[in-house]
């Protein structure tokens, strides 16, 4: 796994390959397929829930007034869709234990 503390697609594929016995190419295709499916679902406006891990939740934000911190000038912030991640209680518990 990556030493810098970042889990990559290649790391996921390597783990799948090692634990499940698939080739590296098959494992990488598997990871890419899952990520593509998740992106497609979110693009279509669906939330993605992975039991025991967490949920990727889409939220529509309304237009609002913001302020430039340097000048103090008020500017409108356009409406937009944002994605947030909510960790499951199982994941939160595992992280807390270290």
pTM for the model: 0.76
Both tokens of 97, joined, read 């234990």
Neighbours of 11 (CB within 10 A): 13
Tell the residue number behind the tokens 């990871």, with chain if given: 31
Distances (CA, A) of 28 to 19, 39, 47, 53: 14, 16, 24, 21
Q: Selecting from 3.30.365.10, 3.40.50.720, 1.10.10.60, 4.10.520.10, what CATH number does the domain 47-98 have?
A: 4.10.520.10
Q: Measuring CA to CA, which residue among 29, 54, 37, 63 is closest to residue 46?
A: 37
User: Each residue of 35-49: pLDDT tens digit?
Assistant: 999 999 999 999 999
User: Each residue of 8-65: pLDDT tens digit?
Assistant: 999 999 999 999 999 999 999 999 999 999 999 999 999 999 999 999 999 999 999 9
In the chain, which segments carry CATH 4.10.520.10? 47-98
Bridge partners, residue 77, by sequence: 64
pLDDT of residue 4: 62
Helix or strand run (H / E) with residue 42? helix 24-43
């Amino acid at each position: 796994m990556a030493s810098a503390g970042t889990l990559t697609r290649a790391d996921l594929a390597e783990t799948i390959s090692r634990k499940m016995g698939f080739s590296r190419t098959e494992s990488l295709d598997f990871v890419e397929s899952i990520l593509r499916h998740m992106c497609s679902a979110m693009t279509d406006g669906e939330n993605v829930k992975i039991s025991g891990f967490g949920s990727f939740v889409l939220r529509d934000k309304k237009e609002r007034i913001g302020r430039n911190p340097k000048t103090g000038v008020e500017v409108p912030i356009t409406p937009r869709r944002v994605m947030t991640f909510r960790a499951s209680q199982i994941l939160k518990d595992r992280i807390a234990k270290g």
